[in-house]
Amino acid sequence: MNARLELRRLAVLIIFNLILSFSFSKEIYAQTEKDEKETSEIDYKKEAPDFELPNLEGEIVKLQDYNDKILVLHIATTWCPFCNAEAPHLEKLYQEYKSKGVEVLIIDVKESKELVEQQLKNKHNLSFPILLDTDGSVAASFAPENILPDLARDEVMLASNLIIDQEGKIRFMSLLDSKNFDAKLLDLKAKLNELL
């Protein structure tokens, strides 16, 4: 049964990458102020959906806890190779920017605490909070409506990065783009530097 679940996850990831690679242009996946005038299916400066999720210690974390901070949010699973490639760079970003009022969170989708702790937190020595979205509803709440309509909304958001400003507005959103994958988070850092 475990092998069947892993095959399903791999199939979803392959289909996801194929659709992204062939169906959409790069402009859909990363939106910043400079392309504000361009047509995009991602709402720019949209209010971030509120959430309450437990962290690995069982404490409830709310979006409101980050008022007056800039929040970098990454949506992940342990089986996603893109998420695993970005994890060490998220830790470096956190160490570099935390003194400037920037916080980092990972929201893990539909996985157990034990798995996330072992395969994400410990594997990558992450020092910032990881939240557990056990049913995928929070990840789904961030998904733009018309992007990849054939995928579950939580799956659309895997390996995505967002910047939420001090007023709770989404100022940057990048969805997985396997052709232009930015593991080192260069576009995200550029936007952070603009906002600071």
**What's the token pair of residue 19?**
């659709």
Tens digits of residue pLDDT in 101-141 = 999 999 999 999 999 999 999 999 999 999 999 999 999 99
The pLDDT of residue 191 is above 80: yes
Distance between CA atoms of residues 128 and 73, nearest Å: 11
Give me the mean pLDDT over the 177-183 stretch.
Answer: 80
Q: Which phi-psi region, left, alpha or beta, contains residue 36 (left: φ > 0; alpha: ψ -120 to 50)?
A: alpha
- Nearest CA among 135, 123, 92, 126 for reference residue 106: 126
Q: Are 51 and 141 in contact (CB under 8 A)?
A: yes
The Cα 155–Cα 143 span in angstroms is 9
From 67-71, 124-128, 174-178, the region with the lowest mean pLDDT: 174-178
Q: Are 93 and 189 in contact (CB under 8 A)?
A: yes
**Cα–Cα distance for residue pair 18/12, rounded to 1 Å:** 10
Q: Which amino acid is located at 112 in the chain?
A: S
- Report how far apart, in Å, the C-alpha atoms of 128 and of each of 69, 100, 104 are: 14, 15, 6
Looking at residue 168, what is its pLDDT?
93
The DSSP bridge partners found for residue 61 are: 53
> pLDDT: is 92 or 151 the higher one?
92
Instruction: State residue 19's pLDDT score.
Output: 45
pLDDT bracket for residue 2 (50, 70, 90): low
Question: What digits encode the pLDDT tens for the residues 11-68?
Answer: 555 555 544 444 333 333 444 444 443 323 344 568 999 999 999 999 999 999 999 9
Per-residue pLDDT at 77 exceeds 50:
yes
